[in-house]
Amino acid sequence: MGNYVGKSMKRVEDPRFIQGQGRYVANLKIYGMTHAAIKRSPYPHAKINSIDTAAAEALDGVIAVFTGKDLADSGVNPIPCGFTPPDIKLPPHHALAIDRVRHVGDGVAVVIAESAYIAYDALDLIEVDYEPLPAVVDAKAAAQPGAPQVHDEVPNNVSFTWAIGDEAAVNAALAACDHVVELDLINQRLIPNAMEPRAAAAQWDSAMEQMTVWTSSQNPHTIRLLLSAFTLGIPEHKLRVISPDVGGGFGSKIFHYAEEVIVPWAARKIGRPVKWVATRSESHMTDAHGRDHVTHCKLGMSQDGIFQALHIENYANMGAYLSLFAPMIPTALYHTLMAGLYKTPVIYGVTYGTMTNTTPVDAYRGAGRPEASYVLERLIDIASRDLNMDPIEMRRKNFIQPDEFPYQTPVALIYDSGNYDAVFDTAVEMADYSAMRAEQAAARAAGKLVGVGVSGCIEASGAGPSAAVVSLGAAIGLYESGAIRVHPTGKVTVLTGAHSHGQGHETSLAQIVGDELGIPISDIEVIHGDTERLPYGVGTYASRSMAVGGGALVMSAQKIRDKITRIAAHQLEAAVEDMVYDRTTGTVHVKGAPDKAKAFGEIAFAVTLANNLPAGMEPALEETSYFDPPNFTFPNSAHIAKVEVDKDSGEVTLLDYVAVDDVGNIINPLLVEGQIVGGVAQGVGQALWEHGAYDAEGQLLSGTFMDYAMPRADGFPQIRVGRTVTPSPSNPLGVKGAGEMGTIAGTVTVVNAVMDALAPLGVRHLDMPLTAEKIKAAIAAANGGSN
Amino acid sequence: MKVSMTVNGKTYTRDVEPRMLLVHFLRDELGMTGTNIGCDTSQCGACTIHMNGMAVKSCTTLAVQADGATITTIEGLANGSELHPMQKAFWENHGLQCGYCTPGMIMAATKLVENNPNMTEAEIRHGLEGNICRCTGYENIVRSVKAAAAQMGGGD
């Protein structure tokens, strides 16, 4: 056993954050720095007849104003899409719109000024002559005949059609089923809202012909690659991308954004550093949104509740442009999860990715998997009610059993490991499920609307096996780098291609390396987020950093230990096979002779001196590894929520929430619990409050925190967290992803609970968010009249 | 306009535009970037500071309104190298993840506890309604505030 892994250690990165020393991009100050502000379209869809920038340019303190044409004329290329299934229609996405704007917030010009105040003043002086065009907002309506066309390159607004499974077999199976649940549902659009608004800054060094870009990104190497090979063409060895402290991402900071193109381009153009920081309103208009599906689904089963077939037809709103991974979310990360925890033998799913006059949609915490769980777990919830069966009992009847792993699902994935009954046993016990049901019965008898909701969710996390993601349509494999550099005095720098933006990698990765090498974590510094300091890294998303990034560090540590062992054997004149590396103390000794030993620090120093090394050995203690896992990891969960619906106001109160997750082995329980609880809160936010809403004409209605209902502290009871541990065989640490499970399960669990509360009124399904207004109307309708 | 204020124990005088927000004054004029900006509608509380003994959202205050004021920001909350009990409690209870809302959260929570050291959990949750966190689900923030309240025992 190690000294650190498995222990709840407080974070080494916290002192800087709690003292106001976070190094966010917005805090950056560079000598001669200028400030950028972006003129954005107030129209969802319009032709640009002309842009007059003269008055803005004449304002004192304005350095330059540039338009989309300026960028295109100087050779800036459109922003690419990194997931391209066959026959996809790829409309160009310019960093600044050239002749047409396609969503509210689409950029048309950038002002560079001596101060941000002046830059914003100048925006008001830019005259854009727009010719408004009809707009389309809804994912499904966009694909109907006669809908306004968002791009000439995308006929009928359908960018791609992606299907999996044998539809004929599924239809035949459904026709033979005793019972089929059929449901239309909407998984509403969300705005991710990391608390740090996006920011970008850039400095061009004309003497060295080098560009440095600071950006609030989850994956700086990906941004460097895209800036170099696609958008700006700056040679990669002359381009440094730094993502320092990043204030939350939740997926929204994965993608290559327009401002990451505009800011460095402008910095080189004017020969001065440029900084741009989004306002919250800009975040709402331009951060890639999440979800936004319109789905028709059918689950067929036998009379005793054994699932036979599942059919999904889904329209996924891509927004006005295809964001970096957008087409991957409602396809390879969605339909492939439709088996859930269950042995449904045949599954068919199809998604139409449609273009609309809305902000682009891409990965948001869970990314496709919450949408999949929502479909499946809503269907099962309704089925259990139809067949008058306890919802947990129905799920248990269909579980994949522990001895059936690895389990090949009918939708491409091979599950690694799991024990779903054990997860549910723990949740049932923690929640005291039967007592909860008894309390519900008593409350109902007293005329109250109390509901209990359950869900059992699964996630493919830790992306991923490169071969698998590429075969599903990704343009790039998803491995990770991890390097360990041992300094002469035995201090250690750990370099990871993963990026921490709240996850606490500076602590958890140090725990791993500390235990692998047997050294104190106070001797370890974890470096991330700087392309010039690190080997190529893929970045942090899809709950991959411990499974894949951690795996790479385990590989490097193994190499370091091997080398230390060989040096110690040489110096102690013993055979390498007779050496023992003690990982609790960081010493190597001869088997059976603990006093014949060398300490980690001694060897580190000896390597640097290079005066007594085995013949031919290189005098360095530095190793880099790349881990490409053999499979995804499959964390899974059993969540139970209890809610009360106010009969008069329709307001939902969350009374209790139990989250039991199996995320495999755990490096730091404190951090994992933090991820689960935070994830649940985001899931509950979708269920009850949040909605990235547009009106029918394409105006963004939820443009600020005044109109977008973020979860607040008083919206929650204490969320109770439990766990089971089924290690993953897919990585050396046995870990599974922990970052998204809470969100995946949280949404559908609470919706199921509210629907359970409303069941006595005969309400079968309501679309999210389950606001008081919506529920009040449903109660009134159920009562056969107005309220 | 000339403004003068005491920030974290030191007096600063600057000539500013009348429209300059206090948060920009602190960040851009004084270089104290610990106070973050999370929204533009005074909803998120990331920019919360102490002004004349009250928790104030510095994005909704003009620098000129703070003329003559005594201000504490997150950078000035600790007593030298000794962390404030609220800072310590956030660290010990994993009350932060990305850290962006944290300065405002700590500044708001400090005044809440000073005003009422014996808050119930519901009162803490209600008291933090003006501060948005996207990472933690608030659970560990509430724990942190409870722990700090026990340490602070009555405020100052």
CATH code of B17's domain = 3.10.20.30
User: Nearest-5° angle of CA A26, CA A31, CA A35?
Assistant: 45
Regarding whether B63 and B11 lie in a shared domain, the answer is yes
Sign of the alpha-carbon torsion through B108, B113, B114, B116 = positive
pLDDT tens digits along A168-204: 999 999 999 999 999 999 999 999 999 999 999 999 9
Q: Which residue of A has its CA nearest to B81?
A: A19
Distance CA(B145)–CA(A47), nearest Å, equals 53
What is the pLDDT at residue A470?
A: 86
Please list every residue in chain B whose beta carbon sits closer than 8 Å to the beta carbon of residue A195. 36, 38, 44, 46, 98, 100-101, 132-135
How close A559 comes to chain B (CA, Å)?
32
Is A360 touching B (CB cutoff 8 A)? Answer: no
Report the pLDDT averaged over residues A161-166: 97
Regarding whether B105 and B64 lie in a shared domain, the answer is no
- Please check the confidence at residue A79 and state whether its pLDDT lies above 70: yes
pLDDT tens digits along A42-66: 999 999 999 999 999 999 999 999 9
Q: What total of structural domains would you count in chain B? A: 2
Regarding whether B48 and B114 lie in a shared domain, the answer is no
Report residue A328 CA to chain centroid gap. Answer: 12
Regarding whether B65 and B111 lie in a shared domain, the answer is no
pLDDT tens digits along B81-135: 999 999 999 999 999 999 999 999 999 999 999 999 999 999 999 999 999 999 9
When pLDDT is cut at 50, 70 and 90, the band that residue A463 belongs to is confident
Q: Which two tokens stand for residue A438?
A: 């008894």
**Residues A334 and A351: beta-carbon distance below 8 Å:** yes
Q: Which residue of A has its CA nearest to B46?
A: A195
Average per-residue pLDDT for chain A: 97
Distance CA(B134)–CA(B46), nearest Å, equals 11
Which of B101, B124, B137 is nearest residue A680 as measured by Cβ atoms? B137
Which of A504, A678, A714 is nearest residue B137 as measured by Cβ atoms? A678
Report residue A616 CA to chain centroid gap. Answer: 46
Please list every residue in chain B whose beta carbon sits closer than 8 Å to the beta carbon of residue A719. 137, 139
User: Nearest-5° angle of CA B42, CA A682, CA A641?
Assistant: 125
Is A703 touching B (CB cutoff 8 A)? Answer: no
Cβ contact B37–A197 (<8 Å):
yes
Regarding whether B10 and B51 lie in a shared domain, the answer is yes
Which of A247, A679, A711 is nearest residue B99 as measured by Cβ atoms? A247
Regarding whether B65 and B10 lie in a shared domain, the answer is yes
- Please check the confidence at residue A309 and state whether its pLDDT lies above 90: yes
Regarding whether B91 and B71 lie in a shared domain, the answer is no
Q: Which two tokens stand for residue A698?
A: 């394409």
Regarding whether B103 and B68 lie in a shared domain, the answer is no
Distance CA(A345)–CA(A105), nearest Å, equals 45
DSSP string, A214-245: EE--S-HHHHHHHIIIIIS---GGGEEEE--S
Regarding whether B89 and B72 lie in a shared domain, the answer is no
What is the pLDDT at residue A287?
A: 98
**Residues B108 and B48: beta-carbon distance below 8 Å:** yes
Secondary structure letter of residue B29 according to DSSP: I
- Please check the confidence at residue A393 and state whether its pLDDT lies above 90: yes
Cβ contact B41–A706 (<8 Å):
yes
Please list every residue in chain B whose beta carbon sits closer than 8 Å to the beta carbon of residue A15. 91
Residue A401: HSE in the Cβ half-sphere, 13 Å Cα cutoff:
3
**In A22-154, where do the E strands start and end?**
34-40, 46-52, 62-67, 100-101, 107-113, 127-132
When pLDDT is cut at 50, 70 and 90, the band that residue A546 belongs to is very high
Distance CA(A557)–CA(A573), nearest Å, equals 24
Q: Which two tokens stand for residue A736?
A: 């599974």
Distances (CA, A) of A450 to A38, A437, A772: 49, 10, 15
Regarding whether B112 and B92 lie in a shared domain, the answer is yes
Please list every residue in chain B whose beta carbon sits closer than 8 Å to the beta carbon of residue A26. 33, 36-37
Is A246 touching B (CB cutoff 8 A)? Answer: yes
Please report, for the domain that includes residue B118, its CATH number.
1.10.150.120
Regarding whether B47 and B89 lie in a shared domain, the answer is no
A44-78 CB burial, b ≥16 within 10 A, e <16: bbbebeebebeebeebeebbbbbbbbbbbeeebbb
Secondary structure letter of residue A79 according to DSSP: P
Please list every residue in chain B whose beta carbon sits closer than 8 Å to the beta carbon of residue A11. 91, 94
Q: Of B11, B43, B76, which residue sits at a domain end?
A: B76
For B35, the domain range is 2-76
Please list every residue in chain A whose beta carbon sits closer than 8 Å to the beta carbon of residue B50. none
Distance CA(A134)–CA(A282), nearest Å, equals 23
When pLDDT is cut at 50, 70 and 90, the band that residue A467 belongs to is confident
Report the pLDDT averaged over residues B52-76: 98
Cβ contact B99–A22 (<8 Å):
yes
Q: Which residue of B has its CA nearest to A24?
A: B100
Beta bridge partners of A665: A735
DSSP string, A305-337: --EEEEEEEEEEEEESS--TTGGGTTTTTTGGG
Cβ contact A704–B39 (<8 Å):
yes
Is A654 touching B (CB cutoff 8 A)? Answer: no
Q: Which residue of A has its CA nearest to B18?
A: A117
Cβ contact A713–B38 (<8 Å):
no
Domains of chain A: 14-133+196-247+253-286 (3.90.1170.50), 416-462+631-782 (3.30.365.10), 479-627 (3.30.365.10)
What is the pLDDT at residue B155?
A: 40
Sign of the alpha-carbon torsion through A545, A547, A548, A550 = positive
Is A17 touching B (CB cutoff 8 A)? Answer: yes
Report residue A338 CA to chain centroid gap. Answer: 19
Which of B75, B83, B100 is nearest residue A248 as measured by Cβ atoms? B100
Cβ contact A681–B36 (<8 Å):
no
Length of chain B: 156
Q: Of B16, B46, B76, which residue sits at a domain end?
A: B76
How close A217 comes to chain B (CA, Å)?
13
pLDDT tens digits along A394-440: 999 999 999 999 999 999 999 999 999 999 999 999 999 999 999 99
User: Nearest-5° angle of CA A83, CA A85, CA A87?
Assistant: 130
- Please check the confidence at residue B153 and state whether its pLDDT lies above 90: no
Please give the share of chain A, as a percent, with pLDDT higher than 70: 99
Secondary structure letter of residue A149 according to DSSP: P
Q: Which residue of A has its CA nearest to B141?
A: A713
DSSP string, A566-592: HHHHHHTT--GGGEEEETTTTEEEETT
- Please check the confidence at residue A1 and state whether its pLDDT lies above 80: no
- Please check the confidence at residue A787 and state whether its pLDDT lies above 50: no
Q: In this prediction, does ipTM exceed 0.95?
A: yes
Is A13 touching B (CB cutoff 8 A)? Answer: yes
Q: Of B76, B109, B130, which residue sits at a domain end?
A: B76
Q: Is A166 exposed, middle or buried (0-12, 13-18, 19+ CB in 10 A)?
A: middle
**Residues A650 and A775: beta-carbon distance below 8 Å:** yes
Closest listed residue to residue B110, CA positions, set B131, B92, B94: B131
Beta bridge partners of A180: A300
**Residues A765 and A570: beta-carbon distance below 8 Å:** no
Cβ contact A195–B92 (<8 Å):
no
**Residues A723 and A754: beta-carbon distance below 8 Å:** no
- Please check the confidence at residue A599 and state whether its pLDDT lies above 80: yes
How close A614 comes to chain B (CA, Å)?
46
Cβ contact A247–B36 (<8 Å):
yes
Is A248 touching B (CB cutoff 8 A)? Answer: yes
Count of pairs with CB atoms under 8 A, one residue in A, one in B: 181
Q: Which residue of B has its CA nearest to A669?
A: B94
Please list every residue in chain B whose beta carbon sits closer than 8 Å to the beta carbon of residue A116. 24
Please give the share of chain A, as a percent, with pLDDT higher than 90: 96
What is the pLDDT at residue A471?
A: 84
Cβ contact B134–A193 (<8 Å):
yes
Distances (CA, A) of A392 to A264, A423, A643: 54, 12, 17
Distance CA(A276)–CA(A99), nearest Å, equals 24
**Residues A297 and A182: beta-carbon distance below 8 Å:** yes
What is the pLDDT at residue B80?
A: 92
Regarding whether B10 and B69 lie in a shared domain, the answer is yes
Distance CA(A530)–CA(A232), nearest Å, equals 19
A11, A27, A195: best to mutate for the B interface, most B CBs within 10 A: A195
Q: Which residue of A has its CA nearest to B20?
A: A117
